[in-house]
Amino acid sequence: MAVSRKPPSSNAVVAAVAHSLGRHVTTNARLVLALSGGLDSVALLHLLRALRDTFPFQLQAVHVHHGLSPHADAWADFCAQLCASHAIELTTHRVHIARTDPAGIEAAARRERQRIFGALDADWLLTAHHQNDQAETLLLQLLRGAGPKGLASMPEVQRRPGWRAAQLRPLLDVTRTGLQEYVRAHGYAWVEDDSNQDVRFRRNALRRQVLPLLDEHFPGAIATLARAAALQADAATLLDDLARLDAAAAVSGDRLDCAALAALSDARARNLLRHFIETRGHAMPSARRLNEALHQLRDARPDARVCLKLGHAELVRFRGGATLVPPAPAWAEPVRWQGEAQLHVPAAGVAVQFDAVVGAGLKRTVLESAVVTLGVRQGGERLRLHPGGPHRSLKNLLQEHAIPPWQRDRLPLLWGDGHLLWAAGIGMDAGALAAPGEAGVLPCVAAG
């Protein structure tokens, strides 16, 4: 249960943080503050220290040393001294960020911070994002053409997949000016990041050039933009609620029914498709790519093979349903089996497990006397599933067994001296089956 007590001061900054803590932080919760040494995080450290008696919690700090500035060592030293002076445990992480990183320096630095933050063993990670940051984020997302979810910007509480700690931003109702007045009134020291002056970075350009001009012509613009972000968050929540209602009738497991998708209006269909993609852990494609995917799923011929690349996944349609699948592995040479209990098959992207059995599976004597290889189909393979029956084309067997098209080229196969003996999900060569009481080996795709 969250602690609810009267804030110890009428000061607006202190009251804002106290209000956030009172709503979310339980007694003796473990808090870790992301401390850069800049004004914002230093202010939050002192605010937390002042409120620790009112809201009993455990407080530590974490500093990420990016190594990008010649002053990075000095900033780390400042954070260490500040925490030591207040008996707050500090952990410093040094990371290497290549200036040639394809993601760009800002994105690479954020990626490394999130990697470290995600591994923190705590209840809450506190970051010092404030109202100006929220306004800047809204404008950045607007200029990227984001929808309501992007325009919602930064929530006060955020739970990220895979993170141990939830993220709390207790300063979102506080302006940068308010933090500056609080820190200066108390005589607290902080460090200045010289990169914040560089308007080549888009956020800095908004902060130093665009927002001051907006505030000059539209007084209170920062608070208004932050309020707009909150309204977008409400809209995004409603869209998620609607998507869940539509998904109840249209989604079964990992399959999205294309007929149900086609029955919705364009806007609801796009909303459902976004939800389907996002809830399966994939990055959202561009609006153009999303519209193309929607068109292909709803309007392509029933027998058309639909496969669209969406980031690190492929959206495929099969028998009236859509599924998100990982891209096929790059082609690789077959690998040789030499008695291993499990063998990874690079061309299939899976491992094959070999279980010792009696009276089932493939004859051990056949496998031990042959050169056994595993790979994927290359065309022309044939397999005899029944004693005395014909050798049938693997292509026809795949169709009869309703193996989805995107799985057919990554299905693991096993050959003995070039003769197909086993196809995953299809069966084994009838002429190589172990007789009752005979030692056999049963191949199967390994779990996970």
pLDDT at 10: 39
pLDDT at 2: 52
Question: Smallest Cα–Cα separation from 203: which of 68, 311, 69, 110?
Answer: 110
User: Domain boundaries in the chain?
Assistant: 12-226, 253-325, 335-445
Q: Which fold has domain 253-325?
A: 3.30.465
Q: Where are the beta strands (DSSP E) in 172-254?
A: 251-252
pLDDT at 97: 85
Is residue 61 a contact partner of residue 88, using CB atoms and an 8 Å limit?
yes
pLDDT at 331: 79
Question: Smallest Cα–Cα separation from 317: which of 278, 287, 349, 273?
Answer: 273
Residue type, 368: E
Strands 29-34 and 124-126: parallel
For the domain spanning 12-226, the CATH number is: 3.40.50.620
Q: By three-state DSSP, how is residue 425 classified?
A: coil
- What is the distance between the alpha carbons of residues 291 and 193, in angstroms, rounded to a whole number? 42
For residue 338, give both structure tokens: 């030499």
What's the burial of 286, exposed, middle or buried (CB within 10 Å: 0-12/13-18/19+)? exposed
Q: Where are the beta strands (DSSP E) in 275-341?
A: 306-310, 313-318, 321-325, 335-337
Give 410-425 pLDDT, tens digit per residue. 899 999 999 999 999 9
Task: Determine the straight-line distance between the first and last CA of the chain, rounded to whole angstroms.
Answer: 38
Q: What average pLDDT values come out for the chain (448 residues) when binned by 10 residues?
A: 43 93 94 96 96 92 92 95 96 90 83 94 97 94 90 92 94 94 94 80 87 92 94 95 96 93 95 94 86 90 78 85 85 92 92 96 95 93 92 93 86 95 96 95 89
Burial code (b: 16+ CB inside 10 Å, e: under 16) for 380-401 equals: ebebbbeeeeeebebeebbeee
Give 177-201 pLDDT, tens digit per residue. 999 999 999 999 999 887 777 778 7
For residue 28, give both structure tokens: 């003796």
pLDDT at 4: 45
What's the burial of 53, exposed, middle or buried (CB within 10 Å: 0-12/13-18/19+)? exposed
Longest dimension (CA), the chain: 93
Local structure of residue 206 (DSSP, 8 states): I
For residue 95, give both structure tokens: 């990371």
Question: Smallest Cα–Cα separation from 280: which of 306, 330, 315, 307?
Answer: 315
| DSSP H helices in 169-210 | 176-186, 202-205
Can you count the helices (H) and strands (E) in the chain?
Answer: 16, 22
